Amino acid sequence: MGRRHFNGLKTAALFGVLWAVLLGIGGWLAGSSGNATFLWLFAGIGLLGTAYGYWNSSSIAIRAMHAYPVTELEAPEMYRIVRELSTAARQPMPALYISPTAAPNAFATGRNPQHAAVCCTEGILRMLDERELRGVLGHELMHVYNRDILTSSVAAAIAGMITSVAQFLLFFGGGSRNNSNPIGALALVFLAPIAAMMIQLAISRTREYDADEDGARLTGDPLALASALEKLDAGTSRAPLPATRDLVDVSHLMIANPFRAGGMAKLFATHPPMADRISRLRQMAGHPYA
């Protein structure tokens, strides 16, 4: 539990930094122009967008992946595993979907366990054996149980507000023609959105570590998830998803980075390095060199 506790503190600290950046911009804007009305306007828009995205997170992700609902007769193995894990966690059974794509991946979404959905691609169902699939589904269910959709939605909203305010400053000069520190203003405009995005990504990566650990505890089999992640690492490299806007917006929900992660893309990835995740899971099982 020590590592999980550390990850929780890390998430809280990252949120604190994100809010500090936003409040710093607000303070600078109010001091420069004598009017912080636009900051509150952007905050209101951001909160409304967050509420909409959070409330409809399930349908947005399902639509982006062109997934279709499946019955127990159509996906008996997937149903059996999810039912067993949901029962063990004393949580309701989520809706199950399959995405008709060869790219191996899976995700869970929904604002709470009562309104959750779990989706697997056809590619991952063909690639993994039952034990590995159980590890993946345990990971995905823990995202729902840990309320990670709310966490990611709030982080995205704050980052979006920071970017919006920075764009406003870029186009309107911070509301003042007599800015005494133009270099500082430019730094704020260009660096604040980058900082916000990096913090948002760090929060996403931290939640992935927690879902790995908690999912492995739910299934009681860390090595199964480690084996699945090894296959997914190779599989997503061979068959990446196209980086369309819709898929980019939901990529943080997936268990593996669905896009090609080379060069600068690694810096802006929503997922931690796969080798690190696998190593942590092996350490949980007491097999660090397996």
pLDDT block averages, 10 residues each, the chain of length 290: 54 68 67 64 66 72 93 96 97 96 93 91 97 98 87 71 68 52 61 70 83 96 97 93 83 87 60 93 80
Active-site residues, by number, are 140
Structural domain boundaries enclosing 277:
2-285
pLDDT of residue 45: 64
d(CA 4, CA 155): 19
In the chain, the number of structural domains is: 1
What is the reported pLDDT for 177? Answer: 46
- Measured distance CA(241)–CA(250) in Å, rounded: 12
Q: pTM for the whole thing?
A: 0.78
| pLDDT given for residue 178 in this prediction | 47
Q: How far apart are CA 88 and CA 84, in angstroms?
A: 6
- List of residues 6+ apart from 155 with CB closer than 8 A: 14, 15, 18, 199, 200, 203, 204
Residue of 148, 131, 140 whose CA lies nearest to 8: 148
Q: Is residue 59 part of a domain?
A: yes
Alpha-carbon distances, residue 93 vs 88, 113, 117, 182 (angstroms): 11, 8, 9, 56
What is the predicted pLDDT for the residue at 110?
83
Residues 290 and 274: their CA atoms lie apart, in Å, by 15
Residue 290 domain-assigned (yes or no)? no
Q: Residue 186 domain-assigned?
A: yes
Rounded Cα–Cα distance for residues 251 and 241 (Å): 10
Contacts of 30 (CB under 8 A, 6+ apart): 36, 39
* Cβ–Cβ under 8 Å, residues 173 and 253: no
Report yes or no on 154 lying in a domain: yes
